[in-house]
Chain A
Amino acid sequence: MSAHLVAVAQRQDREAFAALFRHFAPRLKSYLRRFGDSDARAEEVLQESFAAIWTKAGRFDPSRASASTWIYTIARNQRIDAFRRERRPQFDPNDPAFVPAHVPDGEGTVTSRERFQHVSEAMAELSEEQREVVRLSFFEDEPHEAIARRLGLPVGTVKSRIRLAYGHLRTRLASKSGGLL
């Protein structure tokens, strides 16, 4: 999928874009349905997200993120814009005031594909309960309250569960990546 995204960026490749759409559109639609109040609105934000994927493809850096991760961030930003009517402040790696990492890209770190694989494996190793709080924290606009309601738990418990699950994930990832991430 990363190659398709690069093809869109470099050649405005419509076939590659269609392949991305076929794979990601039904998944992003599910994601967006969780935040919007109607199917029509989710469909609209879905189309806005894909228009943004087309115009912003040049900013995709395959060494830093997998296609699904980058596409997730685009859809997330579009839904904040559309459903909450807020802007999404973001840093700009080309800004002269931006502080680049000391380690050059790809040197001494795992590739974005390996990292994605590690994250998937670490997620699969979480208990069902932990995976659910992590999942819900990405899929609810007010995750702590919503998760608390859904699971019938106090908000404080939800907060500490998210923390534990995230901490567990990081520890797992550190061991998989030999300390390098």
Chain B
Amino acid sequence: MTVKHHIGDDLILAYATGELDEATSLLVATHMALCPQCRQALELAEAIGGTLIEAEAEAEVADDALEAVFGRIESAEKPATPSPAATPAQRGSYVLPRPLRDYAGGDVDGLRWRGLGGGVRHLPIDTRASRAKARLLYIPAGSKVPDHGHRGLELTLVLAGAFYDEGAWFRRGDVEEADATIEHQPVAGPEEPCICLAVTDAPLRFRGLIPRLAQPFLGI
């Protein structure tokens, strides 16, 4: 499985600077979990942040700050040991990668979907005060993906199955970027239900000029 429809540079840069709201960040981070190529672009963007920190002026820090940090460390709970690396046998055992699985409260089988009619189901994801809204969509094979937003940028990340829109197939890991100026009607593939994460009303300025369709970062 190779991702063909990537996230635009505007979004990668905004995720690296910390500008993106929580719902849009959730979609970007989940795409990153599935896309080594975009992670490489992110590493570059974050390295810019690193060089800027190196070049920062030195502000005055409280005299007892280091001791205060050690105090915080000691009073805090012991750090959770990081989860062990997945074994090859475990790979592919989840439909929803983290962080989405944590936000949804489990993998797809255990979710409390709500019906939207015609077999289409959805599950709103709580991203607090985030301006953009995130939800999971479950579209039966061959059904139309409901229209999910009219304001701002809409981003759709495929997690299972596939949908077809505007002459292209979108499969696991692929992201479609659209806005209200585009009249489109995605349809789930004929073989299996399509599960995707839809983020709507994200700030329009993150819409790329040209979709980064299978365009490798830095031309590699």
Chain A contacts to B: CB under 8 angstroms: 14, 18, 21, 24-31, 33, 42-43, 46-48, 50-51, 54-56, 58-59, 64-66, 68-73, 75-77, 79-80, 85-102, 115-116, 119-120, 123, 134-135, 137-139, 141-144, 155, 159, 162-163, 166-167, 169-170, 173-174, 179-181
Contact = CB atoms under 8 A, between A and B. Distances in A.
A75 B53 contact: yes
A98 to B, nearest CB: 5
Contacts of B22: 86-89
Contact of B53 (A28, A48, A181): A28
A72 B57 CA distance: 15
Given A142-B19, A163-B10, A181 B44 contact: yes
A69 B46 contact: yes
Nearest to B91: A96
A contact patch SS = helix
B56 A95 contact: no
B65 interface: yes
Interface residues on B, range: 35 or more
B contact patch SS = helix
Contact of B46 (A73, A89, A162): A73
A65 B16 CA distance: 13
A59 B92 CA distance: 23
A69 to B, nearest CB: 3
Given A88-B25, A166-B13, A69 B73 contact: no
B49 interface: yes
Given A54-B69, A141-B19, A179-B219, A97 B51 contact: no
